[in-house]
């Protein structure tokens, strides 16, 4: 009986991990952008980096229920670590990426063990406080970070020893896409594994999960560190592909922006980070050129509309549209079937 139960649980886990055909659409789109829009790969690279950043926040907010206004602290720390390493002779991009991820994971463990004793509004304010402290530290450490002028003199080495970063951002785009794919597979596996199911249970009812023996706080600290490491990878990618790190990587605007991306795409759905980040970045680019003085106004109006009338963001709208069309097709078939049976 126990063996049958274990086999059944394993089969359920495999089914949850099974890759569906529709999940290939974002990756097809990434390849299509590279082939069809070769002059827009710089923007495409930034979109991929923001998708990775939004994915890290979705792991916190959508699955663990940890609301953060200071997630840019990890993005900025990863960017500065990668930049400082490059300036001091560690020009290998992959090594810089790895060290940035480890530094941000350690930072997440330290800060998470302190701030995750709280929840709700106090937690929100603590995450914001950490971001402001990091921003002030980067601004004052002029000899290390360059202060308000940013980190100068970054020269990133060739990827894998022979792929030089070019002006058309072709290598940068492919590099960011591969890193995003690797991290996405890891996150997808994590959220469908028992650890991820545990996070959802903690979000729904932490007291009940604690009562059944789940180490709630320890799990939250671990996922906070993992999300911080992923955000640090995104920041390191941003620094390496731009060969510059400035104070904006530790701004509240960046934290609010990535939260807006998730709201647009859909919180608690991994592909919501893809849809929301791409939508936000393309809309930002268009509005900044079309309405440079008022683009924030139109972005704010759209955000209000999505929050009030678009539960689940763009993916939520797509689900409701699909359900409506499917239900309508079922209704059309039902009378004919009923008549046939009645005859």
Q: pLDDT for 2-22, tens place per residue?
A: 444 443 443 444 455 667 777
pLDDT at 332: 58
Half-sphere exposure of residue 204: CA atoms within 13 angstroms, side-chain side = 9
Residue 81 CA: distances (Å) to CA of 137, 151, 179, 187, 321: 14, 11, 18, 23, 44
* Residue 126 tokens, joined: 């603590």
Q: Over pLDDT 90: what percentage of the chain?
A: 28
Most confident by average pLDDT, 29-43, 285-299, 328-342? 29-43
- The mean of the pLDDT values for the chain is 83
- Choice between 17 and 291, residue whose per-residue pLDDT is larger: 291
Give the whole-number percent of the chain exceeding pLDDT 70.
89
pLDDT above 90: residue 231:
yes
- The pLDDT, as a whole number, for residue 47 is 93
Question: What does the buried/exposed string (b/e) look like for 251-285 if buried means 16 or more CB atoms within 10 Å of the residue's CB?
Answer: beebbebbbbbbbbbbbbbbbbbbbbbbbbbeebe
d(CA 294, CA 273): 25
Residue 1 has pLDDT above 60, yes or no: no
Per-residue pLDDT averaged across 261-281, rounded? 87
* Mean per-residue pLDDT, 216-223: 90
- Give the per-residue pLDDT at 224: 93
Give mean pLDDT, residues 323-332. Answer: 62
What pLDDT score does 180 carry? 94
Read off the pLDDT band of 46 (50, 70, 90). very high
Residue with tokens 């704010």: 300
Average pLDDT over residues 320-324: 73
Give bridge partners of residue 163 from the DSSP assignment: 159
pLDDT for position 56: 93
| Structure confidence at residue 334 (pLDDT) | 53
Three-class DSSP category at 163? strand
Question: Any idea what DSSP says for residue 19?
Answer: P
pTM score: 0.86
Report phi then psi at 163, rounded to 5: -95, 100
* Confidence at residue 3, expressed as pLDDT on a 0 to 100 scale: 41
Give the CA radius of gyration of the chain.
Answer: 22
Is pLDDT above 60 for 338? no
Lowest mean pLDDT among 70-74, 194-198, 332-336: 332-336
Per-residue pLDDT for 86 more than 50?
Answer: yes
What pLDDT was estimated at residue 130?
Answer: 92
Angle, CA of 273, 193 and 195, to the nearest 5°: 90
Please give the pLDDT value at position 100.
93
Q: Where do we find the tokens 């932490």?
A: 206
Is the pLDDT confidence value at 101 over 70?
A: yes
Q: Is the pLDDT of residue 337 over 80?
A: no
Q: What is the pLDDT of residue 16?
A: 52
224 in Cβ contact with 60 (< 8 Å): yes
**Greatest extent of the chain over all pairs of C-alpha atoms, in Å:** 88
Beta bridge partners of 151: 245
Q: State how far the Cα of 301 lies from the Cα of 303, in Å rounded to an integer.
A: 5
Question: For the segment 87-100, what is each residue's pLDDT rounded down to a tens digit?
Answer: 888 888 899 899 99
Residue 126 · residue 245 · CB < 8 Å: no
**For 147-190, what is each residue's pLDDT tens digit?**
888 888 778 888 777 777 777 788 889 999 999 999 999 999 99
Reported as type and span, the H/E element at residue 203 is: helix 194-204
The answer for 146, left when phi > 0, alpha when psi is -120 to 50, beta otherwise, is: left
pLDDT at 265 over 70: yes
Angle between helices 270-290 and 252-265 (to 10 degrees): 120
- Quickly tell me which residue has 């929301």 as its tokens: 276
Q: If pLDDT is split at 50, 70 and 90, which confidence band does 118 have?
A: confident
């Amino acid at each position: 009986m126990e063996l049958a139960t274990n086999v059944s649980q394993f089969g359920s886990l495999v089914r949850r991990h099974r890759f569906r055909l529709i999940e290939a659409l974002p990756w097809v789109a990434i390849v299509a952008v590279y082939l069809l829009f070769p002059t827009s790969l710089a923007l495409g690279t930034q979109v991929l980096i923001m998708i990775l950043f939004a994915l890290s926040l979705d792991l916190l907010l959508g699955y663990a229920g940890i609301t953060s206004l200071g997630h840019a602290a990890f993005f900025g720390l990863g960017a500065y670590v990668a930049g400082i390493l490059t300036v001091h002779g560690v020009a290998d991009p992959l090594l810089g990426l790895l060290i940035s991820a480890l530094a941000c994971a350690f930072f997440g463990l330290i800060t998470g063990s302190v701030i995750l004793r709280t929840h709700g509004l106090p937690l929100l304010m603590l995450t914001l406080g950490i971001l402001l402290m990091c921003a002030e530290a980067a601004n004052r450490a002029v000899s290390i970070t360059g202060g308000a002028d940013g980190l100068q003199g970054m020269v990133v080495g060739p990827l894998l020893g022979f792929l030089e970063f070019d002006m058309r951002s072709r290598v940068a785009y492919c590099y960011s896409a591969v890193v995003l794919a690797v991290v996405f597979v890891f996150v997808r596996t994590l959220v469908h594994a028992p650890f991820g199911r545990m996070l959802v249970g903690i979000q729904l009812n932490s007291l009940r999960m604690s009562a059944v023996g789940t180490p709630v706080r320890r799990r939250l600290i671990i996922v906070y560190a993992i999300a911080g490491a992923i955000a640090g990878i995104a920041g390191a990618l941003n620094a390496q592909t731009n060969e510059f790190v400035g104070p904006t990587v530790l701004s509240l605007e960046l934290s609010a922006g990535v939260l807006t991306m998730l709201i647009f795409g859909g919180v608690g759905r991994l592909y919501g980070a893809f849809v929301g980040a791409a939508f936000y970045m393309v809309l930002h680019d268009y509005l900044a050129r079309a309405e440079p003085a008022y683009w924030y106004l139109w972005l704010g109006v759209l955000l209000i509309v999505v929050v009030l009338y678009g539960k689940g963001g763009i993916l939520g709208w797509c689900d409701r549209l699909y359900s409506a069309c499917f239900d309508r097709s079922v209704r059309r078939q039902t009378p004919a079937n009923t008549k046939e049976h009645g005859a």
